[in-house]
A and B are shown apart, each in its own frame.
Chain A
Amino acid sequence: MSAQASLSVGARPPQPDLEGPPRHGGMRARRIMGDVVSHVFLAVMAVAWLVPVAWVAAESFNADPNPYTTTFFPTEYTFDNYIQLFTDTQVMNFGKMFLRTLLIAVAVCAISVFFVLSVSFCMSRLRFRLRKPFMNGALILGMFPGIMSVVAIYFILKAMGLTTSSSGTVAALIVVYAGGSGAAFYVMKGFMDTIPFSLDEAAILDGCTRWQVFTRIILPITKPMIVYQAIVGFMTPWLDFVLAKAICRTQDNYTVSLGLWQMLQMEYIGTWFARFAAGAVCVSVPIAILFVLMQRFYQSSMSGAVKG
């Protein structure tokens, strides 16, 4: 929050006006008008932004599981939806889906951090023949619609025998999410590019190998970006819907996003909507916290790699 913002509107000291003859009275009235209009505008917009979120949160406590109610807020509140969501495992085992997604997320997080760090270090600090082709290739690959390869990925995993068993699909999702992560190196590379090359050169003169430059110099400086990357990797399996839907064909193998989607299908929605809302809250709260953390690390890393 900036300094001006903490001053109240009326108490603002008159500011030097270079634009023309003094007409402070009119200017001030106009400024107050502007302030009122912009605050009203922001308030209306903020309501529009919060309504869907508030509605889902409110519905998660609704004793009536039907989605088509006539009042915005529930008429009767209960906590049962959350309890049922995790204990009523007859039709859908949400707890298991949650654990499965967590497992996938941890593995993807570790692998993708390693991949992205490796690739961006090579692209930023090392010079070799295939560097430019690799970068251009990654750019062109990004232009193909990702959905296009979804079906093909399913066939490949099927040929590998990873689509039938439950543990197989977990492995399949891990390799698919992590496997392609090497192409997403642009942000990390951009950050590493801001680290002065003189650091590397000095280290190499002192007898460091390139590997030591990587582990002892670049990695410690890159720490905020590593956290950022780790959170991105961790969030991928929670947010992905398309790949999971193509790969997990049976309900026993579902991840949380598929489970929540399933709850809104025609045959379930009448009884499961409140539990969908509860599940959505359970997923959204951790993701929102991680997102805020990620923002913070991203900002601190953007204020420059090496200070002073």
Chain B
Amino acid sequence: MTQTTSPVSAKERTPGKRRKPVAEQSPYSLGAALSLGDGYTKASAVIMGLGNIVRGQAAKGLLYLAVEAAFIWLLVTAGIPSLKGLGELGPVTKGSQEWTADGEFIFVSPTNSVEVLLFGIAWVAIVLLFVVFWTFAVRSAYKAEVLVAATGKAPTLSQDVKSLADARLYGTLMSLPTLGLAVFTVLPLVFMISMAFTSFDSDHTPAFNWVGLKNFGLVLSSSGSGDIGVNAKLFLSVLAWTLVWAFFATFLNFFLGMFMAMIILRAGTRFKSLWRVCFSMSIAVPQFVSLLAVNQMLQQQGIVNQLLTSWGWIDEALPFFSNTTWARVTVIVINLWIGIPYTIMQVTGILQNIPAETHEAAKIDGASWWERYIYVTMPYIFFVMTPYLITTFTANVNNFNVIYLLSNGDPPEVGQSAGKTDLLITWLYKLTVDKGNYNVGAVIGIFTFIVLAVVSLITYRSSGSYKNEEGFR
């Protein structure tokens, strides 16, 4: 494990001078097509593919036309009702029994607003996708026109297909991963963000409605909502604890990990690889296993309390998860156990990359061990590690596993929806998955994002590695 370096240092090794192919602005832009194109090209904006068919690209043109026809048919049959539903999510809020005009007895089930919202958002995405496809079609028609005028011939379908393996390979390779990201990352996010503006809590299910910014007000108001158990005070205390936690979890890990890495690297230390193996045990064992095991060890009746009692060191069980301060210190310390090995691996790699001459020069100039450490080693480590530290900080704000599996937010607070060690992220989880208050949970999620974005932007922009990429080359 001696050579481990961060992805950052791999990037650093990139040769400084490298010819980068520059993305060229395509001459066949949408604006050019609509202003400079001839009648057929302009008509392609309405009848997609017309321009291509006229220029001898029949197959391609028909494909565009078929997609347009299919889209319009789907939009009319399924899309427009879905998009209309987006305006009023839950028209029928309560299930009821009614007599129809014919004297039949029917049950009116409430609207399933989750589905209405989901299909509405999906259709917005499909329409946007079609607009992009439409620009492709128009630009393709214009390109065909220009090429026919210049060379007398537009590329055939087989030439187009071939270009998908060459000049337009990115289109082939990127489509599936992008689709996956769109469906399983972007769509859920948009869906969840939109829930922040609805009344979707445990009382309003399955039918709910748009309520505007009410939920944001709820989370930030002093009285808050007694049912859900949120208010500004609780929000601020969870936020403060999240930041304190992320700060300690990041920097204690960093400094203690660096300290241990340097002790292992000391000239006099023997069995270097043995120590490294020992300290990577907590990474190699799956986190949920080790965290659940540690949680069991630290229970009121757990092995730690049992042993300490039987040795006569304590009279009553230590309140690891029942006292606020104890619980908070416990999760930070256990997180050291999880996190320090990562730092050791990173720092070891970096320390070995520090050019030996720098140290030699400092030594000859009469710098003591401590001065060399402060003025040579630390700046170098900070330079390389800043992006890593920011990512770690972000990951710690979102460190769901350690809190949820270790303390589960305990100790709980009466009448509040978050416990004393709950982070924003576990609070969000409890509000949504456990309690079904999706709207408030979504608000918390948005706030978490804002906190993260602000913190990472500020630190990243003021860090040396951003201002001066070439600094230590």
Contact = CB atoms under 8 A, between A and B. Distances in A.
Chain A partners chain B:
yes
Interface of A: 1-2, 4-5, 9, 12, 18-19, 31, 34-35, 38-39, 41-42, 45-46, 48-50, 52-53, 55-56, 67-70, 72, 115, 118-119, 121-122, 126-131, 134, 138, 140-153, 155-156, 159, 175-176, 178-183, 186-187, 190-191, 193-194, 196-197, 209-211, 214, 238-239, 241-242, 245-246, 257, 260-261, 264, 273, 276-277, 280, 283-284, 287-288, 291-292, 295, 298-299, 302-304
Interface of B: 1-5, 7-11, 13-15, 18-23, 26, 114-115, 118-119, 162, 165-167, 169-170, 172-174, 176-178, 180-181, 183-189, 191-192, 195, 260, 263-264, 266-273, 275, 278-290, 292-297, 299, 301-303, 306-307, 310, 337, 341, 345, 349, 363-364, 366, 368, 394, 397-398, 400-401, 404-405, 424-425, 428-429, 432-433, 438, 441-442, 445, 448-449, 452-453, 456
A261 to B, nearest CB: 7
Nearest to A214: B169
B173 A70 contact: no
Contacts of A145: 397-398, 424-425, 428, 445, 448-449, 452
A68 B298 CA distance: 10
Nearest to A115: B177
A304 B397 CA distance: 33
B23 A284 contact: no
Given A159-B119, A176-B184, A241-B401, A19 B452 contact: no
Contacts of A292: 284
B446 to A, nearest CB: 8
Given A156-B183, A190-B7, A46 B22 contact: no
Contacts of A1: 271-273
Given A119-B173, A127-B23, A210-B165, A41 B293 contact: no
Contacts of A187: 7, 10
Contacts of B433: 150-151, 245-246
A50 B343 CA distance: 18
18 contacts: A1-B273, A46-B279, A49-B282, A52-B297, A53-B290, A122-B170, A127-B23, A131-B23, A138-B181, A142-B394, A147-B398, A148-B442, A152-B189, A179-B183, A181-B180, A193-B11, A197-B18, A211-B169
Given A42-B269, A143-B452, A156 B293 contact: no
Given A118-B174, A127-B23, A190-B7, 20 more contacts: A35-B268, A50-B278, A72-B307, A118-B177, A122-B173, A122-B174, A127-B21, A143-B449, A144-B449, A152-B195, A156-B187, A179-B184, A187-B10, A194-B11, A241-B405, A242-B400, A246-B433, A260-B288, A261-B292, A302-B3
Contacts of B456: 143
B266 A38 contact: yes
Contact of A209 (B19, B115, B165, B301): B165
B290 A52 contact: yes
Nearest to A132: B23
A138 B189 CA distance: 13
A99 B421 CA distance: 36
A63 to B, nearest CB: 16
Contacts of B286: 238-239, 257, 280, 283-284, 287
B181 A121 contact: no
A75 B220 CA distance: 55
The 4 closest A-B pairs by CB, nearest first: A182-B177, A152-B188, A179-B180, A149-B188
Contacts of B449: 143-145, 148
B167 A210 contact: yes
Contacts of A194: 10-11, 13-14
A299 B173 contact: no
A270 B12 CA distance: 53
B177 A175 contact: no
B290 to A, nearest CB: 6
Contacts of A283: 286, 289
Given A4-B267, A53-B285, A56-B293, A128 B272 contact: no
Contact of B288 (A5, A191, A241): A241
A69 B297 CA distance: 10
Contacts of A180: 180-181, 184-185
B369 to A, nearest CB: 9
B180 A182 contact: yes
A238 B287 CA distance: 10
A141 B186 contact: yes
Contacts of A156: 118, 183-184, 187-188, 191
B429 A147 contact: yes
Nearest to B173: A118
B363 A18 contact: yes
A181 to B, nearest CB: 7
Contacts of A291: 280, 283-284
Contacts of A134: 174, 178
Given A129-B26, A302-B10, A45 B279 contact: yes
Contact of B297 (A39, A55, A155, A298): A55
A107 B186 CA distance: 22
A39 B167 CA distance: 60
A41 B11 contact: no
B434 to A, nearest CB: 11
A98 to B, nearest CB: 13
B306 A70 contact: yes
Contacts of B115: 159
B119 to A, nearest CB: 7
Nearest to B166: A209
Given A147-B398, A147-B425, A179-B180, A127 B22 contact: yes
Contact of B174 (A41, A119, A150, A210): A119
A197 B281 CA distance: 40
